[in-house]
Structure 1
Amino acid sequence: MIEFVFAPDDVARVRFAFSPMWEMVRSLRVLADPSGHALHLPWVHAVRPRLRGLGMGPLRDVVPPGGYIPDFLTPPPATPLPDLAAELEIVRATPPEVVAAELRFTERGSRPTPARQALAADPERTLETLADLLGRYWTAAVEPFWPRIRDLLEGDVLRRAGALTAAGAAGVFGDLHEAVSWRSGSLCVDRRWTFRGGLAGRGLLLVPSVFVWPEVSVMVPPYQAMLSYPPNGVATLWETERPARGREDPLAALIGRRRAELLAALATPASTTELARRMDVTPGAVSQHLGVLRACGLVTGHRLGRRVLYVRTPAGDALAQS
């Protein structure tokens, strides 16, 4: 059991971020064990042909189907919206002795594989190889799907940040994951290993990740305390068909079929581009319908950098669920 003990002001130090590097490394585990991550099978089938000739061996050696992933591959995000290039530079800056030690580390007293031992014997060269290979893997396997992944992650951050403001720790942790519970000032995570301690004055970083599904992942001090969890709506990630509503649907009769479909699609926040992809219409058409829904107080937009993410308002939730 992992138990993070919160001091009185630690809730104020809870922050959110997501990480292209984290998604990329966790996706390697999905490729290694597709049956354990069946939700992502459409992605697995799409990317496997793209990986031919990429030389994935070293990445498969360091990211096994289960167990420990070297921590230097998943540095805690330093900003809410990190850049992959910046994260790769953090990985490249890992001291060689840390690379070697983490490649040799195993859980429950087992021995590292011969391949891991060989990589650990030349940590500087291994680090360069892994960083270069991660960059190529990103281009082939993750970047083409990043816009829809990013929308889902940003939407979850918006939702949970609002819950934290409105209801405190209980609001944000209450439905985070079945393995996570909030108990009288402590956040408990059901794991096979044990840790109990405070947050060392650095707060807790919450990192939504689509590829961590169906599990959660934890990092404990002396690293930045971090909990990675599947975002709300992850089951819709690879859907290609637009939401279906019956011809006699009262909501469609009230506001029009397209606007009813948009309101249903915004069960999870999304950008105009993502909504257009899901519904197989032009972004311009989506923008027009969103303008009407926004004027009626049913949706609202949140600007994140150059992008706007749309979410349903409480009135929109009530209408969509009626």
Structure 2
Amino acid sequence: MGELAFSVRDLAQMRFAVSPMWQVGGGLRLLASGAADPVHRRWLEQVRPRLAAAGLDRGWLAELVPAAGYVPDFLNPAPAGPAPTLAEELAAIAATPADRVRRDLDHLARHGAGLGPRARSLHADPPRRLPRVLAEIEAYWELALGPYWSRIRALLDADVFHRARLAAERGAGRLLDDLHPSLQWDEDLLRLVRRQKLGRQEAGPGLVLIPSAFKGPGLASRVAPPDPPQLAYRARGVGALWEPRPASGADALTAVLGRARTLLLTELDTPASTTELAGRIGISVPGTSQHLTALRDAGLVSAHRAGRSVLYARTAPADALLAAGASRPFGRTGGDQVSS
């Protein structure tokens, strides 16, 4: 059982953060495990072939992020705010001192099956090799997470909102008790079942709570002084993450966006390429490309490079438009009059 002793100051600095890198690591673990996870089945079926085609299933990250066990701490920098961008977290990783990279890789070697050839080259020359790791993270993001980020981010934000409200209504102790069965709050001690003992003198101040869309049933912790300790946990509602989202407001949007662009938005519940979408809605590839460019310029779809093609995904504003279109419009009903 691990223990973190809390002071009043630590409680005052406890916070939530939505971290892209924790989603990167969690997704990679799930993919590396080869498991047919029923919760993430739709995502796995779409992403695994893309990663294999790009060679990312056997690259730098395949050696650094095993299916289970220790992940180098430098890959999960302390979030600087409540919602750092991927670029901000990559910049923090890039700034990791070489001796810190080597120390984490030594730990990985001791607690795993040793280091692969790429990890050994990173150990030998962190300044020259780390940029290649960062480039692979960006490539993985574009293939596996970027097209789905609107959906994932909504899940994580909803989790933070729920737990922040719980803390406001019931207190920090109740929040920590409710976070996970293996987490126990007892006066000034936070106990983590089946963790090595963690002394407060070995950790930074406060505690960062990080919801994850890909976390398994257990908790993941990172204690790397002088950073505050981090606890990653499975976000609420993840079981419904990949369920199809109804586009019941499509008819109302057709008069505004046109039939083709509305159809594209409804089809983009699952990210797809221009060619795939053209086949689905029955218009030419150049015409589909023109409509997608207009929707992207309006912020209704996002584009993500996937090898030689581009994957398009529906954004949160587009989801909101479809939802608004499904609601009853404001206007005249019966004998109502609209006056100035």
Q: TM-score range with shorter-chain normalisation?
A: 0.7 to 0.9
SS of alignment partner, residue 175 of structure 1: helix
Cα deviation for residue 73 of structure 1 reads 0.7
With normalisation by structure 2, the TM-score equals 0.69
The 3 A distance-change label for structure 1 pair 72 and 232 is same
Q: Choose 1 or 2 for highest CA Rg.
A: 2
Say which of 99, 102, 110 aligns to 1:100: 102
Partner residue, 2:230: 226
The one-letter amino acid of 2:160's match is V
Aligned length: 259
Partner residue, 1:239: 243
1:84-112 Cα distance to aligned partner (Å, 9 max, x none): 11111111111122212211213766662
In structure 1, stretches of 5+ residues that fail to align are: 243-271, 292-322
Say which of 158, 166, 173 aligns to 1:163: 166
1:234-270 Cα distance to aligned partner (Å, 9 max, x none): 111111266xxxxxxxxxxxxxxxxxxxxxxxxxxxx
Q: How well do the aligned residues superpose, as a CA RMSD in angstroms?
A: 2.8
1:282 aligns with 2:282: no
The one-letter amino acid of 1:187's match is L
Report if aligned partners of 2:219, 2:232 keep a CA contact under 8 Å in 1.
yes
Distance 2:318 2:181 in 1: 33
Worse-superposed segment, 114-123 or 101-110: 101-110
The one-letter amino acid of 1:49's match is P
Give runs of aligned pairs for residues 23-38 of structure 1, distance below 5 A. Answer: 23-35=23-35, 37-38=37-38
The 3 A distance-change label for structure 1 pair 122 and 209 is same
Distance 1:192 1:200 in 2: 14
Distance 2:33 2:120 in 1: 23
Cα deviation for residue 42 of structure 1 reads 1.9
The one-letter amino acid of 1:67's match is G
Partner residue, 1:301: none
Report if aligned partners of 1:105, 1:112 keep a CA contact under 8 Å in 2.
no
With normalisation by structure 1, the TM-score equals 0.72
The 3 A distance-change label for structure 1 pair 19 and 58 is same
Report if aligned partners of 1:10, 1:201 keep a CA contact under 8 Å in 2.
no
Partner residue, 2:207: 204
Cα deviation for residue 139 of structure 1 reads 0.7
Distance 2:130 2:92 in 1: 11
Give runs of aligned pairs for residues 261-280 of structure 1, distance below 5 A. Answer: none
Distance 2:178 2:138 in 1: 34
In structure 2, stretches of 5+ residues that fail to align are: 247-313, 331-340
Q: What is the percent sequence identity of the aligned residues?
A: 38
1:128-165 Cα distance to aligned partner (Å, 9 max, x none): 11001101110111001101110011111111111111
Partner residue, 2:185: 182
1:121 aligns with 2:124: yes
